[in-house]
Structure 1
Amino acid sequence: MKSILSIVLILAIGHLQAQDYFLEDKGPFDPGIPSPEKFLGYPVGSHHTRHDRIVAYLTQLAEVSDRAEINQYGETYEHRPLVMLTVTAPEHLAQLPALQEKHNRAADPSNTEDLSDLPVFVNLGYNVHGNEPSSSEAAMLTAYILVASESEEVKNYLSQAVIMIDPTINPDGRDRHSQWANMFKGDPLVADPADAEHNERWPRGRTNHYWFDLNRDWLLGIHPESRGKLNWYHQWYPNVVTDFHEMGTNSTYFFEPMKANASKDPIMPAENYTTLNDKFAEYYVEALDNIGSFYFTKEAFDGTYPGYGSSYPDLQGGLGILFEQASSRGHLQETPTGEITFAFTIRNQLSSSMATVKAAVENKDLLYDYQQRFFESALSNAEQSDVEAYVFGDRYDKNRTRAFIDKLLLHRVKLYKLEESVKVDGKSFTSDFAYYVPTRQPQYRMVQTMFETYEEYTDSVFYDASAWSLANFYNMEYAPLKKAAKTGKEVSREDLTREAVKVTQSDYAYLIDWNDYNAPAVLWELQKAGVHVLSAFKPFSLAIDGKEKEFDYGTLVIPVSRQQISSDSLYTLVKESAMGHAVEVTSSASGYSRSGVDLGSRNIRALEKPKPFMLIEDGVSSYEAGEVWHLLDTRVDMPITKIPMRNFEEIDWERYNTMVMVSGNYKQLDSTDSEKIKNWVSLGNTLITIREGSEWAIKNKVVNEKLIGAEDIDEDAAEKEENTTERKPYVEAPENIGKQSVGGAIFEVDLDLTHPLAFGYTREKLPVYRNSEVWIAPSENPYATVAKYTDNPHIDGFVTDKNLNEFLKPSASLIVSKVGRGRVVLFADNPNFRGSWYATNRLFLNALFLGQHIEIPSE
């Protein structure tokens, strides 16, 4: 009996000590409110807490306290709830909708109401990167302090603030990492960095279900986690938003101010990243000094890209703040300055959370004054601009235009139907397809973000991308207007409802324009149902209802008489697919063309159903693999087999006709393996490679193509440069070396519109996204270079003169190389970047659906 009591006493003391480590001087606490340790059954920091347990604990707090309520704002791909715990004084909670309505008037430039009686709204956001877990544990502790503490300090916070706690922004990634860390946790703990606990396997927990980095998705708004948060954000416009992260184990702790913004003229007010950041930094200094934690500021993590959790709020009148904690990557790990514990990382995040609340409360008037002036300055800045509005639209692709409009509305950008035709710089926009975005609106800075491009920067080294003009992401024809044009009604989300498609039954053939972004999804749905579908490799025109109608390259032709199902069943399939994807279908009663080829031509080719697989795991870029997987899953509803590298020897090659190799080192593949791939391609199959995957295919002689590298530069010039090497300060090395990389910029290529990979495109000029130094030489085969950079290719973002002139301009963006009876499609750029490049992922889909039918002529 004594031994059992002793064990219980020891455990109780251990729990108390663990709780004191975090909660010292934060009480006294309401004994009716359970602490995280009591609810979970283990001390915070001794175990990685699953997301469902975190949600359960916050739900418990909301149930037992009149200070808190919990709401769900979204759901992940894996059906985990995204929740927000709101904590404030009971009287505020009782009238929260009224407070919300009044607070949001701060975002209305026309509002002159005194808002000084409002509480400050603080959004504490945690764990956007799943394997940076300390902040979600800190979220529970923060919630407990705010809900249970009876201290006068905390009560004052609640009387002056509405604190909204988002405990886990990326639950799918968090649980993937938590399972790993808990599965390999030792007893006693193992601090050796080589231990499995500290070394996650591919794809690791950083990313969401489709292996995307959600901290880059605030602007792009591709995933449900981000879309849910953005919709929530624009309902509340919090004054302060935190963004808690982790970094390398051997570092310390980072908080803002950041490294200076790399843009020459940042569109966020300078007051944001000077006055406000400096003011809040005083509170973090005090909090971390008090617990003896080391930290740094100003050296890293620029906020140039507007799509981070710490930069997007800066464009919405709030203050976004980044924190980076050295990670224990498990429960305990050695570092050059001693061991770092999971509990230690949690305490730093907790200290910064509470310091943020304190700073917000004590600077409430400053924050509200700034927020109101922010939206007022949006209008005044727009008035000073020489751009009255932007007009955009694609007359050939309503679904891609609809997708771009969705993105504008997601960020609350106001736009209208264009009512009169305008012509700008040789581009014509008419009322049947074009839209009008005025610059004079509260979201003017988001308008700038969507349409403006840049080429001048104060710094050449970026933490992430240097280009983000979303109009180019969507290959959207657009132009700035100097004078206002006549507009119709404002566009709302209801206008995005897909239009009803009418399909007339035919006894001869159905035709589907390949220019529509959703056409590949229709093609796959029909192929999956066993329908024989053909594609036009040359254009033609037919008499439709007595009028001549032109059909472009790639038009899908669905013959009625050559199917294995009845004409009525075929009609039902075509109609339902067309209606589901809002794709127009033309019914034809004849195959005789007015011009171009007839429907029975050899240039109307039967399409083979794609049977693709993709190599994944060790050495392969999870980001790029996830982009391919996401594209096919969410836009085409098409499966792709994901084969781990460890199973390469077991591949049933006869099962597939298309293989995808995204970026990766592919070190596991030896010469025998590369020869196996080459032989499979030569049998008539298609290999699609992206960036480093293309580099691997060239270096391993799967294709007879060349890379452009340093050895291709004029030898005399290189020797002269070597003999005149300039001596430089050692401390400048990272900056000087870093600028040689292409960190993310947009360039223009020239497309061969007659090539099957370009079917569906109507303009020869196409924006592409480049963030690598893979330079592919144009093919020696004159018919094989599908996309080459133009003579003046720069559109947006930073690039050195050397990279631009010596490497980019002479190179190709996309080529097809013949291998026996098959072919390799080599992308130098990433056509599926972050799931948002509608401009170029059609190139990838063309490679998938049409690649088997590309014949490479030779002279």
Structure 2
Amino acid sequence: MLKKLLLVVLFIGTTVSAQDYFFKKYHPFNSDIPSPEEFLGYPIGQHHTRHDLIVAYLTKLAETSDRASIYEYGRTHEGRKLVMLTVTSPSNLGNLEQIQSQHLKFVDPSQTASNYDEVPIFVNLGYNVHGNEPSSSEAAMLTAYTLVASNSAEVTKYINNGVILIDPTINPDGRDRHTQWANMYQGNPLVADPQDAEHNEYWPRGRTNHYWFDLNRDWLLGINPESRGKLTWYHQWYPNVVTDFHEMGTQSSYFFEPMKDNASLNPIMPKENYIDLNNLFGDYYAAALDSIGSFYFTKEVFDGTYPGYGSSYPDLQGGLAILFEQASSRGHKQTTAFGEITFPFTIRNQYTSSMATVQASVENKAKLRKYQQDFFKSALGNADKNRLKGYSFKDNHDPNRVKAFIDKLLLHKIDVYQSGDEFVVPTRQPQYRMVQTMFETYEKYRDSVYYDASAWSVANFYNMKYKPVSTLNLGTKITSTEDLVKPKAVVKTNYAYIIDYDDYNAVAALNYLQSKGLVVSSSFKPFTAKTTDGNKRFNYGALVIPVSLQKKNADDVFKIVSKAQEKYQVPTYAANTGYNAQGIDLGSRYVEPVTKPKAAMIIGDGVRSYDAGEVWHLLDTRVHMPITKIPIRNFGRANLDKYNTLVMVSGNYNFSKTQLEKIKDWTSKGNTLITLGTAAKWAIDKKLVKEKLTEGKEKDSTKAVNRKPYVDAPENLGKDYVGGAIFKVDLDITHPLAFGYRDNTIPVYKNNTVWLAPSKNEYATVAKYAKDPHVDGFITKKNTEEFLKPSASLIVSKLGGGRVILFADNPNFRGSWYGTNRLFLNALFLGDKIEIPE
């Protein structure tokens, strides 16, 4: 049957039958409403549709129909519109504010609304979070047209009883990157050969957004404007049902929920969600797909353990989130083991599931509403059962990092209070489950294999020193972070300015000062300075701007320093003397000028685009420092002498002998090579450095091998991989790479099996995993004892006159690890100051 359906698609022309392939069951249609084919000039599936045309079509629907309105909820990094099309009956649309108000009573535990079946159900159809999984955005146009233009009794029932909120493209930047590729290489006739260029995108491919982030992991972390805009919108609407449409390998079929069992021992979402409701909706999907002869599978591979997916975050907001995965044509037509899969075929499955979602939601609206109400009421009930009443946290040395963490809490509508110099998050609040997500850590799990991470306690991402509390003193509720950090304005001096390097934004301020032509020094020992505000104790790394030694006059220096403070809100002080109250003086040889980084990063095939994007994003959006991205295909002719720092993130690097020598020679001249993850392993394997990898216990080859069932192999082998866990490291806070840290124990994120043996040089191991390293997440006992505990997380190794900095772990993971960003930034700005004793 599948072959037959696929072959049928090949003969569809540009007639009305092309449209009927998708929605003939929903006739009659309003002829005043243009179909996608009439608007675009080609039938859906003949080409990949650009995002601007998708937005234009939905805008046209809103202009020509009294069933639809369109709303822009944000812009992408590249300036593309993020839109939501609202479709419902004309009477509902004209009364939408009141309906929204009625709907929100069900998410407020203090309300007692019981008119579950009277308020239209809210359904958010979300499409195309991965840009090169394009079938769903095409289905979004078909779904929108059907709901806006169909006059069938079925659709009339849907729009009378539901408010359907259509997000056609969650990742427009990635989609357009892939759309350009697919259309550029589209043949006529179509080429089904999997080796054709159309089916094989070039790096970084269209999956990710502008900075190569996977937006389907960003719902919890909220780093990118696409996610932040969506989250802001989400907490204004709290839809009852949310879809998350994806594509998977071409040789597969179609997946819908129920998922693989959650790997958590005690998932914080109610069982009713992932058992009752998923099975209820699953029956609708099975019936709909059976009716068109499509094959599918459920309960395999995918799990919703990580709470930051589009198919899991809404589950923590009283909604039902549903994942779909369609075998991808990766272009317009491709050969598979079942024949040929075409783009229109993939679109039809997504469209069919979209309409089935609306049907299931409308026909079960009372059940879904009651569930959402019970969800938020049970949040308070669960909190009441817990002896723990909240969490307190503070960091008086780094207010901007604290501010960033509070901003994340507020983004998720978590209540935060300020009590003296501490901040308090009570557990008894509607977002109790999100509080659990942010703070709770785990070490026991029902399963050991995860689709994504096994650890996500966001407080640890920020290196936040927090503690559970059993009694509360709430203080003042925080509703905005806008005025949370307001350091006292620096006064003018003719001698020197000092910036507290403990603050997260201090590196950005340093870069700003350097970009304006000022010479800035870093203190390699602590001191107490006599400032105009009195004696002030400064930690390792404090930035010193000597006024008389600048090429600019004192007035201009003051303006630049004042602007840096205003822009980055960093604590800045004026000193009229270099004779300090304690410790070294400002003219000490331990106060060294910081060399302005001239940084480059290798990108391209073989390089992990996620990791490279995280570096690019960090420097662009927080430090505002340029970094040259050198494609690996151009590396042979690249002039490295233009740079003093080279970044290599995780990847598979296959350099020629000549290129390897090029890197060695350049580093030996006194430059800094920064390697992350598998790039650090590569540096050791290629003998750039004399460091070694940790070797576990060798297997006894003479010992008899126990047979195991073949079917269990993927699960058993998967246990040995560290998929994403948080561990403590012991940090040498006197080392330049650790400047800005006060505590010698910090959490790091590990999602690889790169195990660095501590350096034989006693001054070269900057961070080593602690004796009791586990903070959060799954790791086997074997990996813990044989590899983790004996290993180092961060090493600096000498190479000629330069150095190689080896990060076993990724300090910039998903743009969210504020707690370890400083290690990487110090490598960029202070790497050349590291002297490694022989």
Q: Give TM-score, length-normalised by structure 2.
A: 0.98
Query: How big is the shift at 1:105?
Result: 1.1
SS of equivalent to 1:325: strand
In the alignment, does 2:714 pair up with 1:758? no
Partner Cα separation in structure 1 for residue 707 and residue 336 of structure 2: 34
> Distance in 2 between the 1:577 and 1:167 partners?
40
CA distance in 2, matches of 1:459, 1:535: 48
Give the superposition deviation at 1:495: 4.8
Task: Measure the CA separation in 2 of the matches of 1:835 and 1:496.
Answer: 24
Which aligned pairs between 1:551-590 and structure 2 lie closer than 5 A? Answer: 551-590=538-577
Q: Which position in structure 2 is the counterpart of 1:532? A: 519
Q: Cα deviations across residues 407-443 of structure 1 (Å, max 9, x unaligned)?
A: 000000001111xxxxxxxxxxxx22x1010000000
Question: Within 2, Cα distance between the matches of 1:608 and 1:118?
Answer: 63
Correspondence for 2:111: 111
Q: 1:448 to 1:496 in 2, by over 3 A?
A: farther
Equivalent-residue separation in structure 2 for 1:849 and 1:331 (angstroms): 47
- The amino acid of 1:749's aligned partner reads V
8 A Cα contact 1:632 1:638, kept in partner: yes
Q: Paired residue for 2:835? A: 855
451, 458, 480: which one aligns with 2:468 = 480
The residue number in structure 1 matching 2:49 is: 49
Question: Helix, strand or coil for the counterpart of 1:609?
Answer: coil
Q: In the TM superposition, what is the alpha-carbon distance from 1:115 to its structure 2 partner?
A: 2.9
Q: Distance in 2 between matches of 1:176 and 1:111?
A: 46
Verify the 8 A CA contact 2:732 2:738 in the aligned structure 1: yes
Cross-structure match for 1:719: 700
Taking only the aligned residue pairs, the percentage that are identical comes to 65
Q: How far apart are the structure 1 equivalents of 2:434 and 2:393? A: 16
**Whole-angstrom distance in 2 between the partners of 1:400 and 1:522:** 14
Aligned residues of 1:675 and 1:702 also touching (Cα < 8 A): no
Q: Give 2:686's aligned residue.
A: 700
- Inter-partner Cα distance in structure 2 for 1:499 and 1:661: 37
Residue of structure 2 equivalent to 1:227: 228
1:586-597 aligned within 5 A = 586-597=573-584
| Count, aligned residues | 828
Spell out, residue by residue over 1:601-660, the C-alpha distance to the aligned partner (whole angstroms, 9 max, x if none): 111001110000000001101000000000000000000000001111221122100000
**Which whole-Å CA distance do the structure 2 matches of 1:313 and 1:777 have between them?**
42
| 1-structure distance, mates of 2:12, 2:628 | 51
Q: Write the letter of the residue equivalent to 1:449.
A: T
- Give secondary structure in 1 for the equivalent of 2:634: helix
* More off after superposition, 126-135 vs 697-706: 697-706
Give the secondary-structure state (helix, strand or coil) at the position aligned to 1:17: helix
Indicate if the aligned counterparts of 1:115 and 1:368 stay in contact, CA closer than 8 A.
no
The secondary structure found in structure 2 opposite 1:412 is coil
Letter in 2 for 1:676: K
* Matched ranges for 1:302-451 at <5 A: 302-418=303-419, 431-432=420-421, 434-451=422-439
Partner of 1:285: helix, strand, or coil? helix
Distance in structure 1 (CA, Å) of the matches to 2:582 and 2:827: 28
Per-residue Cα deviation, 1:296-324 (whole angstroms, up to 9, x for no partner): 00012100000000100000000000000
* 1:453 corresponds to: 441
- Residue of structure 2 in register with 1:35 after alignment: 35
Residue 14 of structure 2 contacts residue 42 of structure 2 at CA under 8 Å; is this kept in 1?
Answer: no
| Other-structure match for 1:272 | 273
Match of 2:238 in 1: 237
CA distance in 2, matches of 1:294, 1:615: 43
Which range moved further: 501-510 or 174-183?
501-510
Q: Contact 2:407–2:481 (CA<8 Å) still a contact in 1? A: no
CA–CA distance in 2 between the matches of 1:770 and 1:238? 34
Q: Distance in 2 between matches of 1:171 and 1:744?
A: 28
Q: Which amino acid aligns with 1:441?
A: Q
TM-score by length of 1: 0.95
**Which stretches in structure 2 are left out of the alignment for 5+ residues?**
1-10
**Match for 2:477: what amino acid?**
E
Q: Distance in 1 between matches of 2:313 and 2:244?
A: 11
Relative to 1, partners in 2 of residues 1:789 and 1:159: Cα closer, same or farther, differing over 3 Å?
Answer: same
Is the CA contact (8 Å cut-off) linking 1:749 and 1:813 kept in structure 2? yes
Quote the residue 1:793 is aligned against: 773
Q: Which residue of 2 aligns with 1:737?
A: 717
- The answer for the alignment partner of 1:548 in structure 2 is 535
Q: Which moves more between the two structures, 101-110 or 729-738?
A: 101-110
Runs of 4+ with deviation above 4 angstroms:
494-498
Deviations 1:306-353 (A, max 9, x none): 000010000000000000000000000000111000000000000000
- For the residue of structure 2 that corresponds to 1:163, the secondary structure is strand
SS in 2 for 1:402: helix
**Mapping for residues 203-218 of structure 1, pairs under 5 Å:** 203-218=204-219
Return the letter of the residue paired with 1:54. I
Q: In the TM superposition, what whole-angstrom CA distance separates every residue of 1:543-572 from its partner, at most 9, and x where no partner exists?
A: 234843211100000001100000000000
> In the TM superposition, what is the alpha-carbon distance from 1:494 to its structure 2 partner?
5.3
Larger mean Cα displacement after TM superposition, 242-251 or 20-29: 20-29
Aligned to 1:719, the other structure's residue is in SS state coil
The one-letter amino acid paired with 2:442 is Y
User: Partner residue of 1:616?
Assistant: 603
Question: For residues 360 and 544 of structure 1, what CA distance do their matches in structure 2 show?
Answer: 65
User: What residue identity is the alignment partner of 2:432?
Assistant: Y
State whether residues 62 and 68 of structure 2, in contact with CA within 8 Å, keep that contact through their aligned partners in structure 1.
yes
* Alignment-mate amino acid for residue 802 of structure 1: K
Structure 1 residue 642 corresponds to structure 2 residue 616: no
- Cross-structure match for 2:293: 292
- Cα pair 2:12 2:18 within 8 Å, conserved: no
Q: CA deviation at 1:78?
A: 0.5
Amino acid at match of 2:153: E
For residue 472 of structure 1, give the secondary structure of its aligned residue in structure 2.
helix
Alpha-carbon distance, 1:393 to partner? 1.4
- Shift in Å at residue 496 of structure 1? 4.6
Q: String of CA shifts for 1:112-157, please: whole Å, max 9, x gaps.
A: 1223310000000000000000000000000000000010110010
* Per-residue deviation, 1:489: 1.3
Q: CA distance change for structure 1 residues 751 and 602 in 2, over 3 Å: closer, same or farther?
A: same
Residue 675 (structure 1) shift:
1.6
In structure 2, the residue corresponding to 1:790 is in which secondary structure?
A: strand
Measure the CA separation in 2 of the matches of 1:549 and 1:21: 74
> Could you report, residue by residue, the CA deviation over 1:275-308 in whole angstroms, capped at 9, with x for unpaired residues?
0000000000000000000000001210000000
The SS at the match of 1:102 is: helix
Amino acid at match of 1:741: Y
Distance in 1 (CA, whole Å) between partners of 2:464 and 2:265 is 26
Letter in 1 for 2:700: E
* Counterpart-to-counterpart distance in 2, 1:560 and 1:329: 60
In the alignment, the residues of structure 1 paired with residue 484 and residue 97 of structure 2 have an alpha-carbon distance, to the nearest angstrom, of 29
Q: CA deviation at 1:587?
A: 0.4
C-alpha contact 2:284 2:360 (8 A) present in aligned 1: yes
Aligned residue identity for 1:49: T
Distance 2:45 2:304 in 1: 31
CA RMSD in angstroms comes to 1.2
Provide closer, same or farther for how the CA distance between residues 806 and 13 of structure 1 changes in structure 2, counting only shifts above 3 A: closer
Question: Which secondary structure state, in structure 2, belongs to the residue aligned with residue 219 of structure 1?
Answer: coil
Segments of 5+ residues of structure 1 without an aligned counterpart are 1-10, 419-430
Shift of 1:739: 0.7
Report the Cα offset of residue 806 of structure 1: 0.3
Report what 1:676 is aligned to. 662
Task: Tell me by how many angstroms 1:497 deviates.
Answer: 5.4
User: CA shift at 1:725, angstroms?
Assistant: 2.1
Letter in 2 for 1:687: L
Residue 780 (structure 1) aligns with: 760
Contact 2:487 2:570 (8 Å CA) reproduced: no
Aligned to 2:126: 125
Deviation at 1:20, TM superposition (A): 1.1
Corresponding residue of 1:424: none
After superposition, what is the alpha-carbon deviation per residue over 1:373-412, rounded to whole angstroms, capped at 9, x for unaligned?
0000000000111211100111100000000000000000
